[in-house]
A and B are shown apart, each in its own frame.
Chain A
Amino acid sequence: MKLQIIKYTKIWYLISIVVIVVGLGAGLLGGFNPGIDFSGGSMIHIDMEQKIDLNKLQETIEEFELDESIITVGKDNTEIMIKTSKPLSNEERTEIFNKVAGEYNLEYDNLLAADQFSASVGEEIQKKAVIAVIIASVGILIYITIRFEIKFAVAAIIALLHDVLVMIAFYGLFRIPINSSFIAAILVIVGYSINDTIVIFDRIRENAHHYKKNRMEELVDTSINQSLTRSINTSLTALIAVLCVFILGVESIREFTLPIIAGLIAGTYSSIFIASPIWYQLTNLSNKPHYVGK
């Protein structure tokens, strides 16, 4: 069995475009879900030791006028997280917890976690991360241009961009909070995606000697098929590892690993179905003038 990649290029592009457009659209229309460490705000995580009526809890803390949202987490949904978009100082958080603790007979140990962020900190981290990724991309572009050629570099960067967009779309679609783990998740995928793409490009480069310029389609298809088992097995082992963390992990780590799972799939997809066809098209573009005169 041999996969025909180049023949169906348009379909592969379409799949990616649909995923990205739908996800980004959902994100932009419904609003991305900014995590409190980026947008500023507070979170109080309490172990209630029992399932509770959220409406009643809301009444309990009504007097603080928090405009809060409360979600239940934990194994038996006995833990709650109160999130507010207003940063609450320490004293305010303690007051709120004491009120809840009084109402539900809780000890101080039941306060699992509490956070407070002002928006400026998140903005700075975000800005620096974006600059870092851009500079890293330029570095990768230069290295691939030296070791391969510029067309490979351009295709690899487009695939990279594709993966980042798919991940952002994923965050939009499932309303996963965009917080500092978001940056880490994107970085993980940037590293993975580049690695995955280069392995296939390396095969194309190696096989290129055996193919004439008019049989580029065959060259790309053969190279992809030769590295296919490797692509699948490597994504599989990486997926196994992340899935274990996702299944066993606590709330915050699941928010971190779920997008990585999406990114791993996008990364594998893009090296096979996006990067190589783009390289093929770029090569065809630059080959054409040679035949015009004939």
Chain B
Amino acid sequence: MKKVLAILIVILMVFGWVVSISGLTVGNLEIRPLQDLIRLGLDLKGGVYVVLEAETNLKDKALRDLMNQTQQVVERRVNSMGLSEPNVTIEGDNRIRVELPGVKNSAEAIVAIGQTAQLQFMDYRGNVILTGSEVKDARLSYDPEHPSRPVVSLEFTSEGAKAFKDATTRTSQVILPPQSDSTYMEKVAEKTIFIVLDNEVISNPIGEVAITNGQAVIQGSFTVDEAANLAALIRGGALPVNLKEVQSSEIGATLGQDSLYLSVLAGAIGMGIIILFMLVYYKVLGISAGIGLLLYTLLVAWIMVAFKAVLTLPGIAGIILSIGMAVDANVIIFERIKEELANGKTIRVSIKSGFQRAMTTILDSNITTIIAGVVLYYFGSGPVRGFAVTLIIGILVSMFTAVLITRLYIHVISDIKALNKKSFYGIKEVKV
């Protein structure tokens, strides 16, 4: 039974590696190779990222709401650029990180995101009455009095509606003197509401009547397209806050590919040397460590895919290091088995008690590391979090492969009569 399971696992593992490297197509089912499935960070794929800081004094919940809104707006903008897998995340309290894989020129990208389209309604003194965030909806419609003239009709949120009501009540009370009067122009300005998009006045309607229903119309000499675009920009693109570039980085695609290729090569060579080392040092026991390690690497890679984790350069280095550390449990178990063998016990008994004694050590040492990992995840940010996830995945998988899988294979190997000699376990036969 154990033998069947052992053979089955090896077959599945080899199959898994083949699929991971070259992919598989059976009928309609297509599994793409690992390198297409795993999400690569910008440092490996090449591309641009920008971190933008919101210029605001808001705090706590108000700030969080603002950032969520901003994130949505930026996301819509970035998505409309037609890139593959752009990524917009909130970083820290008041920053937005925009990652644009495959983009070559960061200047262009930043300009594209930076079309901030900040919409403001102002009075003649430049006081802001309301901003784009208080616009619930904006759409193209036609002036009821001149049906051929396109306008943008706006609907405000309840706060926006109130602010707009107050402002239009004020303007409606301004009485215009005769045109010949010297204060005429001044009074006209006082009666006007300025609609400003990105510091540019796009419309300056006169507030004749107090508007209380939370709806307004931007009139101007628009074409239909212009009005539709403006509506879309206000609807989707009105950033509730001004964003300042605090960090940006562009990585050329060549550098990224080189890094990826070299790191994977390093990992493969490292794994090869480690397996060789285990075989030379622990003889037949090393076989089970080798199988465990091959399975470990395969599982970690696919778990990364399943969790949609993003693989970065330090991440790869971490995984390769974890390959070196994953055999730790093997080493602890094997050393214990060798000790028991050296004490004159039979192979079967040595394996049993070696495992038992090694287990407490392995559990305690790994649980302590997991505690560190979990804490780092909860209290860390950005790169620290990514590292913590890799650490926890690595430990859990290595407990599975180095303990359960190794145990299975050691039992199967110890049942093989031809290998039933202590010298195969790296122990010189001692005459007692």
Contact call A244/B106, Cβ cutoff below 8 A:
no
Interface size on B, residues (CB 8 A): 75
Contact call B321/A136, Cβ cutoff below 8 A:
no
A-B contact pairs, 30 of them (CB 8 A): A45-B255, A89-B245, A109-B252, A112-B251, A113-B252, A114-B250, A118-B246, A118-B247, A129-B384, A133-B376, A191-B391, A192-B325, A199-B365, A203-B361, A230-B331, A230-B332, A233-B331, A234-B327, A237-B277, A237-B324, A237-B328, A239-B324, A240-B277, A241-B270, A241-B271, A242-B320, A242-B324, A243-B270, A244-B270, A245-B263
Query: Which residues of the partner chain B approach A118 to less than 8 Å between Cβ atoms?
Result: 246-247
Contact call A94/B107, Cβ cutoff below 8 A:
yes
Residues of B within 8 A of A (CB): 43, 51, 92, 95, 104-107, 110, 245-252, 254-255, 258-259, 262-263, 265-267, 269-271, 273-274, 277-278, 281, 313-314, 316-318, 320-321, 323-325, 327-328, 331-332, 335, 339, 357, 360-361, 364-369, 371-376, 378-384, 387-388, 391
Query: Which residues of the partner chain B approach A113 to less than 8 Å between Cβ atoms?
Result: 249-252, 255
Question: How distant is the Cα of A184 from the Cα of B246 in the complex, in angstroms?
Answer: 22
Query: Which residues of the partner chain A approach B255 to less than 8 Å between Cβ atoms?
Result: 45, 112-113, 250
**Can you name the residue of chain B whose Cβ is closest to the Cβ of A131?**
B379
Q: Is the interface of A mostly helix, strand, loop or mixed?
A: helix
Contact call A132/B379, Cβ cutoff below 8 A:
yes
Contact call B321/A241, Cβ cutoff below 8 A:
yes
Which of B105, B327, B371, B379 makes the CB contact (< 8 A) with A237?
B327
Report the minimal beta-carbon distance from B278 to chain A, rounded to whole angstroms: 8
Contact call A111/B252, Cβ cutoff below 8 A:
yes
Question: How distant is the Cα of A76 from the Cα of B388 in the complex, in angstroms?
Answer: 36
Report the minimal beta-carbon distance from A16 to chain B, rounded to whole angstroms: 22
Question: How distant is the Cα of A94 from the Cα of B110 in the complex, in angstroms?
Answer: 12
Contact call A248/B368, Cβ cutoff below 8 A:
no
Contact call A90/B106, Cβ cutoff below 8 A:
yes
A116 within 8 A of B: yes
**Can you name the residue of chain A whose Cβ is closest to the Cβ of B251?**
A113
Question: How distant is the Cα of A194 from the Cα of B370 in the complex, in angstroms?
Answer: 11
Question: How distant is the Cα of A173 from the Cα of B47 in the complex, in angstroms?
Answer: 34
A28 within 8 A of B: no
Instruction: Scan A24-53; emit 1 where CB is below 8 A from any B CB, else 0.
Output: 000000000000010000000101000000
Q: Beyond A90-B106, A198-B364, is A260–B267 a contact (Cβ under 8 Å)?
A: no
Contact call B245/A112, Cβ cutoff below 8 A:
no
Query: Which residues of the partner chain A approach B314 to less than 8 Å between Cβ atoms?
Result: 181, 184, 253, 256
Query: Which residues of the partner chain A approach B273 to less than 8 Å between Cβ atoms?
Result: 240, 244
Contact call A144/B368, Cβ cutoff below 8 A:
yes
Query: Which residues of the partner chain B approach A244 to less than 8 Å between Cβ atoms?
Result: 266-267, 269-270, 273, 320
Report the minimal beta-carbon distance from B121 to chain A, rounded to whole angstroms: 30
Query: Which residues of the partner chain A approach B383 to less than 8 Å between Cβ atoms?
Result: 125, 180, 183-184
Question: How distant is the Cα of A143 from the Cα of B43 in the complex, in angstroms?
Answer: 37
Interface residues on A, range: 35 or more
Query: Which residues of the partner chain A approach B365 to less than 8 Å between Cβ atoms?
Result: 194-196, 198-199, 202
Q: Beyond A195-B365, A241-B321, is A90–B110 a contact (Cβ under 8 Å)?
A: yes
Report the minimal beta-carbon distance from A271 to chain B, rounded to whole angstroms: 10
Question: How distant is the Cα of A116 from the Cα of B252 in the complex, in angstroms?
Answer: 15
Contact call A140/B372, Cβ cutoff below 8 A:
yes
Query: Which residues of the partner chain A approach B105 to less than 8 Å between Cβ atoms?
Result: 94, 108
Q: Beyond A136-B375, A195-B368, is A188–B321 a contact (Cβ under 8 Å)?
A: yes
Question: How distant is the Cα of A190 from the Cα of B318 in the complex, in angstroms?
Answer: 13
Contact call B367/A143, Cβ cutoff below 8 A:
yes
Chain A 111-163 interface residues, beta-carbon cutoff 8 Å to B: 111-118, 120-121, 124-125, 128-129, 131-133, 135-136, 139-140, 143-144, 147
Question: How distant is the Cα of A226 from the Cα of B332 in the complex, in angstroms?
Answer: 11
**Can you name the residue of chain A whose Cβ is closest to the Cβ of B282?**
A233
